[in-house]
Structure 1
Amino acid sequence: MARHPSPDPYATDAARARRRGRRRTVAIATALVVGVATGAGVAARSGLLSFAGSCEDDAVRVDVLAAPDIAPALDEAADRAREQDVKSDGRCLDVRVEAKEPHQVAGALQKSDEARFDVWVPDSELWVDRASLGDSTALTPAGNVAASPVTMGMVPSAAKAVGWPKKRYTWAELTELATEGDKLRLGAADPARSAGGLLALTKIGASAAKTDGPESDTQVAATAKLLAQRTSDSESRALATVARDDSGTEQGDPRRNQALIVSEQAAFRHNQEAGADGQLELFYPKDGAPQLDYPYTLVDESHMSTDESRAALRFMTLLGEEDSRSLLEKHGFRSGSEEPSEELVTAAGGSEPQPYATASAEPPTPKELQATLGMWTITVQSARLTTVVDVSTSMGRIVPNRGESRLEVTKSSLVQALSQFTPEDEIGVWEFATYLDGTRDYRKLVETRRLGASTGNGATQRERLVAAYDALHTKPGYTGLYDTSLAAYKDAQKSYVKGKFNALVILTDGANQDPGSLSRRALIDELERLADPKRPVRLIAIAVGPDADRKEVKQIAAATGGSGYQIDDPAQMQEVILKAIIAAGGN
């Protein structure tokens, strides 16, 4: 994708000038570049390339944006490269490192096809996956430069009370300690902003599923509710909430945490700075610790010159050399495939027989991470959703390879989606076609209320919704999308509830087919006029099947700050609703 001049919070004046001066935009195969860069490293070590003399006039500039925890180590490695005149293809490396929170960078890359830096090193591959959604900047993962397992740290008195270091726990068992009354005050970095927090919460869910089976959702939701009360914006801020172990006052302070979901490297850094009275001791869960994996990622590689691409990859190979691995370990990171040093683990708060050297947990899939983040978003901020379901004649068409109609599959997906919501969430349902209620194209079936609320006949709102979904059937008529969207949006705005995630979910299998309705342009203009940033209601429009118009639903939803999607199978609906909630929460 071409770069276009635009304001960029991560660009320095020098970087902007350097980018403007580029004339070559050659796409280079990464495998070829790695080979050349590695060859340059071998030649340098064997003395075939001269590293003497000044490089100031002919250095290759590489701008690196890195997670704050690893940025100091990369900066030190960059300084060494300059001091030692390390070269790529005969030209010295001038690597400049800037620290930036990965969630902020991922959000910026997702919204723009332009970046003003060459390399990004977040703390986890999940941010690369997140940044790659939509029409974002092209990213090319080139390898991993470090690792750090995510663990649970405790102040010594709490750790000893639960059997550290001899007693081993699963993730589910450790978090169960924290959800039993007020025995253990557990904190974490916000999973919406922290890879460690999200990886751990996903692992807790998988661990609980093995132990508790169908009841696992209850424990994970309870853990999420508890963490939601004790989360911090970042891991460094979470560490600032840890009580000092020798202080009876702090230990009894309910605002102070006795335990924390934390990476080994963060615990290492904390223990170095905290002194004897503020140490953490680490539990390494016996069912595996998820890893922060620090992917070295080229940013918009096709718009880098040959020299820049090679220089960027030369720096990556440099980080894999023995001196750099020692430097990373000095900063608390694991590097290479060998077992971690006892010195690193001990300094971080680990000790045998805690399983710190065993194989790490299998990384969760993007789908598992998305489901966890959706659950977290909904748990932390209760949702208020009105679902508006297309019941026009075309919804009776059979879904290929399923033997059920579009509406039948949609109904099943809506019932499944309900399981993701808590009793505090509010959900209602409308149906629409054309001339469904006199001259109106829509009908309100169930008022939007708390799922746990009683409906007056002994049933809960959740049970009433299940019955309403089950009773949906196709009606003679076409897709009255525009009038319905406007009416439902006005109703959702009128009943807006502060402190909840307010949204309108419209499910349709076709473009608007009501000749008597307002135009698309008129609908979008009216939605933009009604949208109120102080009382945000997101419109989530889901186009189902091959007849649906993806462009149309995206345009309608965007007018409210929401999002539009097209799916081939209504069974994908639950996943898409979660994705939309996550996207809206990120905004």
Structure 2
Amino acid sequence: MPDDEATDSTRGRRPRRRTVLIATALVLSVAAGTGVAAQSGLLSFADGCTGSAVRIDLAASPDIAPAVRAVADDARRNNVTSDGRCVDVRVDARENYEIADGLATGTSAPDYEVWLPDSDVWVERALDAGDGVALTPAGNAATTPVTLAAVPSVGKRLGWPEKTYTWAELTATAAGKDALRLGAADPARSATGLLAFSSVVGSTREEDPDSDTRIAATAEALAERVSESDGQVVRSLVRGASGNARGNEAVFLTEQAAFVHNSADDGGSDLQLFYPTDAAPVLNYPLNLVNEPDLTTEESRAAMRFISLLSEDGPQRTMAEHGFRTGHSVVPGGLVRTAGGRAPQPFALTNAQPPASDMVDETLGMWTVTVQDARLTVVVDTSNSMAGPVPERGGESRMDVTKTSMLQTLARFTPADEVGLWGFAAGLDGAKDFRKLSETAPLGERAKDGATHRESLSDAVSALAPVATGSAAATGMYDTTLAAFKEAQSSYVSGKCNAVIILTGGPDTDTTARTSLMTELRKLADPRRPVPLIAIAVGPEANREEMDEVARITGGAGYEVSDPAEIQAVMIEAIMSVGGTKR
């Protein structure tokens, strides 16, 4: 069932920061086609090799690694050369999220020169985290759309292939009396899971702008059937007519993964694909040179030789044989049919592309907040800066409005969420600038007197008051931030969204303490135990830019509210945004 429309293999989002642009004739020729470079001998083929081969290590997404490895093997057999030397590309299948996290933190030098993840999602994650490794975009290897795959019995129940659905309509079948057992790979570790869930969020909001409750319910239902990886999500499906009643009946899956599953002769049932009518996102397999300025000329040219080879007819056929869409103008009918697609499912997807980056970020945060309990240490400025009145609030002080907003926010957390409270001001507790007012503990936990932690924490928030200690220019915020971060990190709880929230109403001009804090945070920040700082400046006196610079070292960010009444919305937004912090 051939597709009569072209797919765009170069669609997707461009990395936002620290992307190195190669201003050389080599890359310009690759962008325009390899003809000029080949004619010049820069990217030459030869009848044989001279000297030793140029070794290039390529880290690839596990799904595309077999196809790229086949191309690399053919290149070695056929003596593909760059400047007369054979190109020896070794392909290693590596999990995308692990590579992205390693590049973002720069904790170790990459042992590969080319990275081929399945989506720009990972490139942006690698580029968004401070002083990581530089990446140079070098085109795309293939594409594949994200779909919903169902076992035959469920496909029949849903009216496959005649009946079509939006993303919202498909996932609505996972709720209710006869709920579909719908699974997904963890959106924190899978671009397929993340882009599918982003599409669900966008589609559901399109139908109903006030649909966050419905979205949260969908996330909770998915969380009960989430798999750690794309490979595991396929294995979570029921097998046969009398399959495991606990297995998934449908999963978010790429067309390519369904193609591989349906091509296997392992006794499993062929999957049937639903291509949502409001456009499926695509995985776009971006190629990137890693630390390109540090590569030798031979390595850089050999890597680009292999990258240009991937766009040629033979390698493109290899990609198609492995179930990927290529830059060709027609999608082979056999690919769609084998994967489980049938008309009138809208499998052309000519205009499909990943959701906007802000939607992806929000969705990841929403997923994390919904499916993971929070563990938050809230640190509140109790210096005189919080005593000032808030305009148009009837004489209420910043502290008064801040406390009201905090209590409203506290009511939104579940009994399993852990929240603690600190206060700070210069010299607040003798030699210390901070005082722990309430331990970080589950809100539903009960004390010996029968009171819940939520109740005692609410009392502690209500008792907050500005104190006249220290100087207005040195609030003790930086020393307090370091102490709170160290404690939160030492008591880190895996599987929860751990974070420290700093609320301050004034500046801290102790530049020595600030420099020391930033130095220590760079040493302490650990992607395996992420504790992002969320710094909220209450009013214009606090310096949001300086706070943001400090917070970003940990994967957090700085925010500013002109009215403390906005704190509730900002805290929820901030927690959602760090919900996708690398883990």
Could you tell me the TM-score, scaled by structure 1's length? 0.76
Structure showing greater relative contact order (alpha-carbon pairs closer than 8 Å, 6 or more residues apart): 2
Partner of 2:113: 118
1-side partners of 2:279 and 2:22: how far apart? Answer: 36
* The one of 69, 72, 83 aligned to 2:77: 83
* The one of 147, 152, 156 aligned to 1:151: 147
Partner of 2:170: 174
2-side partners of 1:229 and 1:169: how far apart? Answer: 23
2-side partners of 1:419 and 1:302: how far apart? Answer: 51
Amino acid at match of 2:174: A
Q: Does 2:508 correspond to 1:511?
A: yes
Q: Counterparts of 1:271-286 in structure 2 under 5 Å?
A: 271-275=262-266, 277-286=268-277
What do the CA deviations read for 1:34-81 (whole angstroms, capped 9, x no partner)? 244577656759999985543162433322111011111111111222
2-side partners of 1:357 and 1:130: how far apart? Answer: 29
Q: Which structure 2 segments of 5+ residues have no match?
A: 1-19, 391-395, 447-451
Q: CA deviation at 1:486?
A: 8.0
Partner of 2:305: 314
Classify the secondary structure of the residue corresponding to 1:384: strand
User: What is the root-mean-square deviation in Å for CA atoms of aligned residues?
Assistant: 4.8
What do the CA deviations read for 1:156-215 (whole angstroms, capped 9, x no partner)? 11011011111111111111101224531111111111110011111111111111221x
Q: Counterparts of 1:185-584 in structure 2 under 5 Å?
A: 185-214=181-210, 216-246=211-241, 248=242, 250=243, 252=245, 254=246, 256-275=247-266, 277-336=268-327, 338-394=329-385, 424-427=416-419, 429-434=421-426, 478=472, 479-481=475-477, 500-508=496-504, 509-511=506-508, 538=531, 540=533, 542=535, 544=537, 545-546=542-543, 553=550, 565-566=557-558, 575-583=573-581
Q: CA deviation at 1:315?
A: 1.8
Is this contact kept in 2: 1:41–1:314, CA < 8 A? no
- Tell me: CA distance 1:464–1:223, structure 2 relative to 1, closer, same or farther (3 Å): farther
Q: Does 2:105 correspond to 1:105?
A: no
Amino acid at match of 1:374: G
* The one of 68, 90, 93 aligned to 1:96: 90
1-side partners of 2:467 and 2:511: how far apart? Answer: 15
Could you tell me the TM-score, scaled by structure 2's length? 0.76
Classify the secondary structure of the residue corresponding to 1:94: strand
Is this contact kept in 1: 2:258–2:340, CA < 8 A? yes
Classify the secondary structure of the residue corresponding to 1:433: strand
Identity of aligned residues (%): 47
2-side partners of 1:118 and 1:429: how far apart? Answer: 46
* The one of 112, 122, 126 aligned to 1:127: 122
2-side partners of 1:107 and 1:549: how far apart? Answer: 25
Amino acid at match of 2:110: A
Partner of 2:14: none
Q: Which structure 1 segments of 5+ residues have no match?
A: 1-26, 455-459
Query: Hey, which of these two has a bigger chunk of helix by percent?
Result: 1
Amino acid at match of 2:425: A
Q: CA deviation at 1:433?
A: 3.1
